[in-house]
Amino acid sequence: MDPSRVDFPPGPAGAPMDTMTMLDIRNLHARIDDREILKGLDLTLNAGEVHAIMGPNGSGKSTLSYVLAGKDDYEVTEGTATLDGEDLLEMEPDARAAAGLFLAFQYPIEIPGVANMTFLRTALNAQRKARGEAEISTPDFLRLVKEKASDLGISQEMLRRGVNVGFSGGEKKRNEILQMSILEPKLCILDETDSGLDIDALKIVAQGVNALRSPKRAMLVITHYQRLLDHIVPDVVHVMHQGRIVRSGGKELALELEASGYAAYGDAA
Amino acid sequence: MPAVQETVERVRAIDVDQYKYGFTTDIESELAPKGLDESTVRFISAKKNEPEWMLEWRLDAFRRWLTMREPTWARVSYPKIDFQDLYYYAAPKAKAGPKSIDEIDPEILKTYEKLGIPLRERDALLGIESSGGSKVAVDAVFDSVSVATTFKAELAKAGVIFCSISEAIREHPELVKQYLGSVVPVSDNFYATLNSAVFSDGSFVYVPKGVRCPMELSTYFRINEKNTGQFERTLIIADEGAYVSYLEGCTAPQRDENQLHAAVVELVALKDAEIKYSTVQNWYPGDAEGKGGIYNFVTKRGDCRGDNSKIAWTQVETGSAITWKYPSCILRGDNSQGEFYSIAISNGYQQVDSGTKMIHLGKNTSSRIISKGIAAGHSENTYRGLVSAHRRATGARNFTNCDSLLIGDKCGAHTVPYIEANNSSAMFEHEATTSKISDDQKFYCLQRGLSEEEAVALIVNGFVKDVLQQLPMEFAVEAQKLIAVSLEGSVG
Ligand SMILES: Nc1ncnc2c1ncn2[C@@H]1O[C@H](COP(=O)(O)OP(=O)(O)OP(=O)(O)O)[C@@H](O)[C@H]1O
Ligand SMILES: [Mg+2]
């Protein structure tokens, strides 16, 4: 990113000096149909860091997450994006997942007839296979799911139901975090995971996310509200506007935005 | 990849040559001369050492067949079949009838092994109690002749007769005379009549009064000889209060010429009896241009002849170039029940016209139809169903649910329901949906690390779950694998 725009040094206090760049996005342009949504976006995320992205509706936050995950409605016209030095944009979506990129969807998708449990296991084994690892054994898998599900307050009954079928808005979001904690990705992108969560669920989900914070993992948290960032405290906050990061700062930037909104960025693009 | 381009490539990439079971076995066959006339019918009957009455039955059918025409109402198209250019009988060159498995041609055993049905392993497959405590008996039909029948002894102990239809004609003529053609009359339709004239073999089951058949009965069909029509004939009778579950599964070797298959299956359920008939069908569907696949014109019908009887058809159809098949129930007894659960998958250039008929004749009869059609590639997949209530069928009820799933945009799914209610108290419900695998669903799966083919297989398995659940365990697992295999190449 343009260093002149950074008014707070990234990286948690006391982070090792040789911070590893995990996600590196430069001058990214992407369009859908004939409409350019991302217009030269720069963003660097180091291992161990949590960055928040805030920005008005329609500024392109979800688009960024889809482009990184490889949704094929979007066409990248310019720029680069690498994950641990590997060219993300060249990889198929499933290869990106196996490389450790996880997207918690703003609107999780329903898959009728496929038990949540089956889905989890198929996904985990597919990623293991792609990485040349052996499939997880049934007892190990059951133990893992049971533990993670109970942490997130997800019932056995929900595990047996079709993927996201008939789940409430909040249950869908919790289910995304369940998948994330089982797949243990190295880059977690959370797209408005807090929307639709009640106060208690917000805490549970935040706990789940915080449990995954690690020096080897990076997180990109897309949100509109400070309340999530009270629980998941970010190292850096970015403001996205009209397809670009227009400002970056420390966690207090979120508080500032909450107070004054995005009016100041009206002509920033 | 942009969506449109992907779709184009996906369609191009369809390669049904991946058919797993395309091989032939090297066994000399004893063929009837090519073509069909009275002497062919006499040849077959003689080969089977049939009694005079059976020959007459066949000849009667043959004479009727000469006056009939091929039906054209189904939504399938294919070059005209030259019925004089087919062989109507082929038997593996038999030494004396095999007394034990060791006498069976090793080539045949090998074929079964390739299919994953090793007879050598039948002890495990059949004899040893599996986890569910269930046993399976296999009456293996190789080409047209039963080469091995297992577990007869244990079945005999229960009084169950399970043998080839040829053997039943010789050993149990009174049962065969009473029931053969009583569900599917000799002159029912062009293919059934042809079958009646030239059927070469098939299975026969009789479960006596009050007996619950102690194991699932299973037959594996193979088509092997070049240009040989296959005309199986199956007859299953559940006497009063009896229960039987019958499994049928098949695959066939790859061939250039189309192979005709016209089986007839008749089920009779007497008072309080229940028959479950499950099929997993995976015949060669043809190559990438749709050439060389099996033509499958089947007549399957069950007669709920007694009060409180029940017949359930479950089918997983993935193979054949052309499928013309409507397993049906005649609900004659009061309170009788008919069920039809179907998964029909078409890919490449396959054409499927399949469905069921539920004919409500008795009082308070009920039927249930769950049909899941999946079309991919350039295929056409039609559900055709009839639900009818006779004017005396007071309180008849039907529930039909008919869902179609399209993969790609070069295929078609069609639903053709016919409903005839001649009794005002009949309650018929019909639900139908057509959907596509959504790009969002696929992307969601890919994002979690599934490959595109795994994603499609998973979503399709979810789509067909309600039907898979109806299959016996042994078959459900096999069917699930088959679904994935048959959709290979349906995504780019
Ligand atoms: N399929 C599409 N066709 C045309 N425009 C689209 C399409 N998908 C998204 N857009 C547009 O792209 C812009 C960015 O959308 P995006 O969903 O990325 O915004 P966002 O920042 O995530 O907004 P929100 O905060 O409301 O979730 C919007 O103006 C949206 O209308
Ligand atoms: Mg969004």
One digit per residue, pLDDT tens: chain A, 269 residues?
444 444 444 444 444 445 689 999 999 999 999 999 999 999 999 999 999 999 999 999 999 999 999 999 999 999 999 999 999 999 999 999 999 999 999 999 999 999 999 999 999 999 999 889 999 999 999 999 999 999 998 999 999 999 999 999 889 999 999 999 999 999 999 999 998 888 888 999 999 899 999 999 999 999 998 889 999 999 999 999 999 999 999 999 988 888 888 888 764 44
The interface predicted TM-score of the complex, written ipTM, equals 0.92
Q: Say how many domains are in chain B.
A: 1
Q: Quick check: A113 and B465 CB within 8 A?
A: yes
Check if A65 has its Cβ closer than 6 Å to any atom of ligand 1: no
Nearest by CB to B6, from A72, A113, A122: name it.
Answer: A72
Check if A63 has its Cβ closer than 6 Å to any atom of ligand 1: yes
Containing structural domain, residue B148: 2-487
Q: Is A185 within 8 Å of A15 (Cβ atoms)?
A: no
- Quote the CA–CA distance of A176 and A108 in Å, as a whole number: 7
For a ligand 1 pocket test, name from A41, A54, A61, A106 the mutation site with the most ligand atoms within 8 angstroms of its C-beta.
A61
In a domain, B381, yes or no: yes
In a domain, B492, yes or no: no
Check if A60 has its Cβ closer than 6 Å to any atom of ligand 1: yes
Q: Quick check: A126 and B454 CB within 8 A?
A: yes
Residues with CB under 5 A from ligand 2 (ion): A 61-62, 106
B6 CB-contact burial (10 Å; exposed 0-12 / middle 13-18 / buried 19+): middle
The token pair that represents B467 in the structure block: 């039907």
Whole-number Cα distances in Å, A138 to A118, B132, B458 = 11, 19, 19
Nearest by CB to A72, from B2, B458, B463: name it.
Answer: B2
Per-residue model confidence as pLDDT tens digits over B171-229: 999 999 999 999 999 999 999 999 999 998 888 999 999 999 987 887 554 454 444 45
Q: Most A CBs within 10 Å: which of B448, B451, B460, B465, as the mutation test of the A interface?
A: B448
Look up residue B85 and give its DSSP letter.
Answer: G
Tell me how many helices (H) and strands (E) chain B has. Answer: 13, 23
Q: Quick check: B447 and A183 CB within 8 A?
A: no
- Quote the CA–CA distance of B466 and B405 in Å, as a whole number: 14
Check if A175 has its Cβ closer than 6 Å to any atom of ligand 1: no
Residues lower than pLDDT 70 in chain B: 1-30, 91-153, 219-229, 250-258, 474, 488-492
Is A112's Cβ below 8 Å from some Cβ in B?
yes
Q: Quick check: A93 and B443 CB within 8 A?
A: yes
Check if A57 has its Cβ closer than 6 Å to any atom of ligand 1: yes
Q: Looking at chain B, which residue has its C-alpha nearest residue A161?
A: B462
Place of tokens 């189309």: B258
The side-by-side arrangement of strands in the sheet containing B145-149 is B145-149, B136-142, B216-222, B243-251, B274-282, B310-317, B337-346, B366-375, B397-406, B427-436
Is B464's Cβ below 8 Å from some Cβ in A?
yes
Check if A34 has its Cβ closer than 6 Å to any atom of ligand 1: no
With a CB cutoff of 8 Å and minimum separation 6, the contacts of A236 are A8, A10, A49, A50, A51, A52, A248, A249, A250
Task: Write out the E strands in B122-270.
Answer: 136-142, 145-149, 161-164, 203-207, 216-222, 233-238, 243-251, 259-261, 264-269
Name residue B300's amino acid.
Answer: K
Q: Which residues of B touch A123 (CB under 8 A)?
A: 445, 448-450
